[in-house]
Amino acid sequence: MTELSNLRVAIGQFASAEDWAANLKTCTDLFDEAVAGNADLLVLPEGAMALFVDDPVRIRQAAQPLDGPFVTGLAERTRGTTTTVIVGMHQPAEDGRVINTLVALRDGQIIDIYRKLHLYDAFGRRESDNVLASSDNPVVIDCAGWKVGMMTCYDVRFPEIARILADQGAQVVALPAAWVRGPAKEWHWEVMVTARALENTYYVAASGECGRRNIGASMFVDPLGITRARLGGDTPGLLWSEASAEDLDRARQSLPVLANRRFKVDPRPITPLTGPTTVSR
């Protein structure tokens, strides 16, 4: 593992607008900045394509297919570069709802997608009213020789998905989010992101949307649970850090929790007791 070069990571934080074209401009500007800084990986927020704060049903109207102008516009911007970008958007679903999707793009192509498994039916909100949950297995992609897993926002509260990504070889996990403000919610975010990194001894690159609804608080946490970099809640821009193969090796040797564990995680999905209908690929 130590023959890997350091993975240079940029984490983008911004407040989404209601207009997808404005958000595409923000994403492409952040991508250009990431490329100029020699980033291998750029992580952008969940649902970066459009904002639906005051009218959740608008999420259905704003959804676009993967070959729509938002994804294709960003994909075209990546053409001729080696930087991988992971961004959140919403696709139309067959039942009239939408699918909360992460898209990984590089050199003009979709590398892979991850569709959100755990919907935010908590703290008085019901994402499942307008969003269809996935039953896909978690996704790990290759990025500059590193294995990068993907999860979305509320997923971070479920340690089994984080462990499945570790079982799939993840060394870094990209975590786009739009973490909603509320009592103790900033603390929950910090605790969960840190715990997932520490209990699986991998890096977590967490991108949070900021603005009037969400906390921002993007952060990059190392395999021993140390926050290497963070952005303030209302600070748009790029957060920079690096994943070190030597540090990853050292952490896994000194804290061999993945080797010491006694139980496996069964990757077969279940239907939650009060959960939403799911869609599979």
Looking at the domain assignment, is residue 267 inside a domain? no
Domain containing 53 equals 7-260
What is the mean predicted confidence (pLDDT) over 56-72? 93
- 186 domain-assigned: yes
- Name the strand (E) or helix (H) holding 257: helix 257-260
Annotated catalytic residues are 46, 116, 153
DSSP 3-state of 190 = helix
In a domain, 281, yes or no: no
Q: 192 lies in a domain?
A: yes
Query: Which range has highest mean pLDDT (47-56, 70-79, 233-242)?
Result: 70-79
DSSP conformation class of 213: S
Mean pLDDT of the chain: 94
Whether the pLDDT of residue 276 is over 70: the answer is no
Give pLDDT tens digits for 150-163.
Answer: 999 999 999 999 99
Query: Do the domain assignments include residue 265?
Result: no
Give the pair of three-digit tokens for residue 94: 């067959």
Do the domain assignments include residue 278?
A: no
Average pLDDT over residues 219-239: 95
- Using one digit for the tens of pLDDT, what is the confidence trace for 112-125? 999 999 999 999 99
Which H, E and C letters describe 83-94, residue by residue?
CEEEEEEEEECC
Q: Which residues contact 162 (CB under 8 A, 6 or more apart)?
A: 151, 156, 173, 196, 199, 200
Could you give the maximum distance between any two Cα atoms of the chain, in Å? 50
Residue 277 covered by a domain: no
What CATH number does residue 200 fall under? 3.60.110.10
What's the confidence (pLDDT) of residue 6?
A: 98
Number of domains in the chain: 1
- Nearest CA to 251 out of 222, 227, 230 is that of 222
Q: What is the pLDDT of residue 1?
A: 47
User: What is the pLDDT at residue 277?
Assistant: 60
In-domain check, residue 85: yes
